[in-house]
């Protein structure tokens, strides 16, 4: 018995045959009466054509359609006038489906190729019920495994080589995006030597799973210009009038007016943090207002400008804001070094309420990784997870939008990648970022038009919004570079708890 025949006997049931009109892309299949009920869209099939004895065609079923030769939609039948007759008469129903060809499996070499042949009419079609047979042909080194093909239980091997082309996860709320990313993080930690920094926007998606690796965001330092913009925003002071004064004051506050002292201060903090001692700074509302008003007057501002700053900061910002700045003793460098040492850091951003501060932390940490790249000129092997990405890199301007965009455009060479998740594609993610996501997982989508958006960058192989609407929790299509078949395969994400 040939190897090819052995596979056909083991892989699953023979369900039908190829009809007329096959191309190397799409193959019409007629389903045998006995198996019509077993068939649904997204199942995998193998087609065997005796003209190519050592090749098996692998396809995905789409556009399942039921027919009846006499009940044609545009032809008047007797049942229009006598609908009760339909239960008494015999109907000649049959089922056709299209198999979209994804690969040709070479049974001699045990490898998969692009499809270049069209199977002849009459070729036999087998349902893939035991997906493990496919693993012999679609081998991936150190494959990341986050789930199985929904119908065949084939563990889809995701190629970690393409992580550096970045990953997007999209789906309506509750579809399981965060759990899918959790599965991906675990696989990355197990199968690769990348370090991962997770920004947990709400503190409920990743923090509970990785308690030993959590750093509360309100312990992370933010740079003086970013403190200035946060104060302006919270105190309702216009940036055009107060921006310079605030930046100067914050910078002086941190450095004591001298650049070198900042470096000394940073070094001592790092040393203390590494020794397990965390020291606070010396921010206080009273002192800050004094310094700011003095600066405004000394730098030629009007008395009214200084008075307004004093009143507004006093009114809108309470002492706890300045106290919280005192808790911020960990420089972003510490987060990156910790991630490189321990392979994982989860930044609990729920500890900061202000979105501007959360964005500032993402920016500072991601820029710190770039600083390392520039300093050492060698790959850093770091992945950044940004869930709820609509808050960080949407089409509107954000503090950290540019550094995320730079990473997505230029990170690959330095093995510095990003995993983004959000409910929507358009609007939630900048066009230049979403167009650079090499691998995309998508489930039921929030907005019509989002699938079309994805279709602009990926071959969606005929997946329609109607097919997405049917998906349940944990069901995602995966398309793009990490999927060895590249075109969408429907997976059920493994149990993550």
Ligand X SMILES: Nc1ncnc2c1ncn2[C@@H]1O[C@H](COP(=O)(O)OP(=O)(O)OP(=O)(O)O)[C@@H](O)[C@H]1O
Query: Contact between 423 and Mg ion (CB under 5 A)?
Result: no
Q: Which does 173 bind (CB under 5 to 8 A by kind): Mg ion, ligand X, none?
A: ligand X
* Whole-angstrom distance, CA of residue 463 vs CA of residue 196: 32
Interface mask toward ligand X for 423-442; x: CB under 6 A: x-------------------
CB-wise, 171 or 401, nearer to ligand X? 171
Among candidates 173, 126, 111, 113, which has minimal Cα distance to 27? 126
| Of the candidates 262, 266, 261, 226, the residue with the CA atom closest to the CA atom of residue 246 | 226
Query: Structure tokens of 481?
Result: 């570079």
- Which of 164/178 has CB closer to Mg ion? 178
Least distance in Å: CB of 453 to Mg ion?
A: 20
Q: How many residues does the chain have?
A: 497
In whole angstroms, the minimum distance from the beta carbon of 202 to ligand X comes to 8
Q: Give the separation between CA 13 and CA 1, rounded to whole angstroms.
A: 18
Q: Which is nearer to ligand X, 123 or 423 (CB)?
A: 423
Residue 340 burial by Cβ neighbours in a 10 Å radius (0-12, 13-18, 19+): middle
| Residue 224's binding partner out of Mg ion, ligand X, none, with CB under 5 to 8 Å set by partner kind | none
Give the E-state strand segments of 273-396 in sequence order.
Answer: 344-348, 382-386
Q: Using CB atoms, what's the residue nearest to ligand X?
A: 176
Query: Of all helices (H) and strands (E), which one includes residue 169?
Result: strand 167-170
**Six-digit token pair at 380?**
């850093």
Which pairing describes strands 344-348 and 195-200: parallel, antiparallel, or unpaired? parallel
Shortest separation between residue 134's beta carbon and ligand X, angstroms = 22
Report CA-CA distances (Å) from 323 to 144, 282, 310.
44, 8, 18
Which of these, 63, 47, 45, 13, lies nearest to 117 by C-alpha position? 47
Q: Does 390 bind Mg ion (CB under 5 A)?
A: no
**Per CB under 5 A, 178 contacts Mg ion:** yes
| Among Mg ion, ligand X, none, residue 174 binds (CB under 5-8 Å by kind) | ligand X
Q: What are the helix (H) ranges across 24-165?
A: 78-81, 132-135
Which listed range, 170-178, 282-290, 329-337, 480-488, lies at the site for ligand X (CB under 6 A)?
A: 170-178
Binding ligand X (rule: CB under 6 A), the pick from 12, 131, 160, 176 is: 176
Structure tokens at 278: 């965390």
By a kind-dependent CB cut-off of 5 to 8 A, residue 497 interacts, out of ligand X, Mg ion, none, with: ligand X
Which SS3 state, helix, strand or coil, does residue 247 take?
helix
- Answer yes or no whether residue 175 interacts with Mg ion by CB under 5 A: no
Q: Can you name the residues that pair with 441 across neighbouring β-strands? A: 169, 478
Select the span of 160-168, 174-182, 288-296, 317-325 touching ligand X (CB under 6 A): 174-182
The window from 101-109, 176-184, 265-273, 339-347 that contacts Mg ion (CB under 5 A) reads: 176-184
- How many residues of this chain bind ligand X (CB under 6 A)? 15
At 492, give phi and psi (nearest 5°).
-105, 120
What's the min distance (Å) between Cβ of 177 and Mg ion? 5
**Residue span binding ligand X (CB under 6 A) among the ranges 169-177, 307-315, 431-439, 452-460:** 169-177
The β-bridge relationship of strands 124-127 and 44-48 is: antiparallel
Sole window of 62-70, 131-139, 171-179, 292-300 interacting with ligand X (rule: CB under 6 A): 171-179
d(CA 40, CA 35): 11
CA dist., res. 252 & res. 295, Å (int): 10
Interatomic CA distance for residues 348 and 330, integer angstroms: 14
Minimum CB separation of residue 447 from Mg ion in Å reads 17
473 binds, among Mg ion, ligand X, none (CB under 5 to 8 A by kind): ligand X
Instruction: Give the residue with the Cβ less far from ligand X, 177 or 308.
Output: 177
User: Is position 496 an interface residue for ligand X (rule: CB under 6 A)?
Assistant: yes
By CB under 6 A, which span of 80-88, 177-185, 238-246, 374-382 interacts with ligand X?
Answer: 177-185
CB of 211 to Mg ion, least distance (A): 19
Site residues (vs Mg ion, CB under 5 A): 177-178
Site residues (vs ligand X, CB under 6 A): 171, 173-179, 423, 473-474, 493, 495-497
């Amino acid at each position: 018995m040939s190897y090819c025949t052995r596979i056909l006997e083991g892989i699953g049931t023979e369900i039908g045959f190829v009809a007329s009109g096959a191309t190397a892309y799409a193959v019409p299949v007629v389903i045998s009466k006995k198996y019509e009920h077993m068939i649904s869209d997204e199942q995998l099939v193998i087609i065997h054509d005796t003209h190519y004895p050592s090749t098996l065609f692998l396809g995905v079923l789409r556009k399942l359609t039921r027919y009846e030769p006499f009940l044609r939609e545009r032809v008047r039948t007797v049942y229009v006038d006598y609908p009760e007759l339909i239960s008494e008469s015999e109907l000649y129903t049959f089922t056709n489906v299209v198999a979209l060809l994804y690969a040709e499996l070479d049974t001699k070499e045990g490898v998969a190729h692009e499809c270049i042949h069209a199977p002849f009419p009459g070729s036999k079609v087998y349902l893939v019920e035991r997906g493990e047979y496919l693993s012999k042909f679609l081998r991936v080194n150190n494959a990341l495994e986050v789930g199985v093909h929904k119908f065949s239980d084939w563990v889809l091997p995701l190629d970690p080589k393409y992580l550096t082309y970045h990953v997007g996860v999209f789906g309506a709320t509750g579809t399981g995006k965060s759990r899918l990313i959790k599965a991906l993080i675990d696989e990355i930690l197990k199968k690769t030597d990348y370090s991962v920094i997770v920004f947990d926007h709400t503190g409920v998606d990743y923090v509970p799973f990785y308690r030993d690796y959590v750093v509360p965001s309100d312990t992370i330092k933010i740079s003086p210009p970013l403190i200035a913009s946060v104060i302006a925003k919270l105190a309702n002071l216009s940036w055009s009038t107060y921006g310079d004064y605030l930046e100067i004051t914050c910078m002086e506050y941190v450095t004591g007016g001298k650049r070198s002292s900042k470096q000394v201060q940073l070094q001592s903090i790092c040393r203390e943090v590494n020794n397990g001692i965390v020291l606070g700074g010396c921010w206080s509302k009273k002192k800050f207002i004094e310094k700011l008003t003095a600066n405004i007057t000394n730098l030629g501002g009007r008395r009214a400008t200084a008075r307004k700053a004093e009143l507004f900061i006093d009114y809108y910002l309470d002492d706890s804001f300045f106290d919280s700045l005192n808790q911020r003793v960990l420089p972003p460098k510490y987060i990156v070094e910790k991630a490189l040492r321990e392979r994982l850091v989860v930044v609990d951003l729920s500890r900061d309420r202000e979105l501007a501060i959360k964005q500032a932390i993402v920016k500072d940490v991601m820029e710190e990784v770039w600083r390392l790249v520039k300093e050492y000129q060698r790959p850093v092997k770091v992945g950044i997870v940004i869930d709820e990405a609509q808050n960080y890199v949407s089409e509107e301007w954000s503090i950290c939008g540019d550094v995320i965009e730079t990473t997505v455009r230029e990170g690959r060479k330095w093995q510095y990648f990003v995993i983004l998740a959000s409910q929507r594609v358009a609007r939630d993610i900048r066009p230049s970022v979403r167009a650079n996501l090499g691998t995309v997982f998508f489930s039921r989508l929030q907005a019509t038009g989002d699938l079309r958006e994805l279709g602009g960058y990926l071959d969606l192989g005929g997946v329609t919004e109607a097919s997405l609407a049917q998906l349940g929790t944990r069901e995602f299509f995966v398309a793009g570079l990490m999927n060895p078949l590249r075109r969408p395969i429907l997976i059920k994400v493994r149990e993550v708890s």
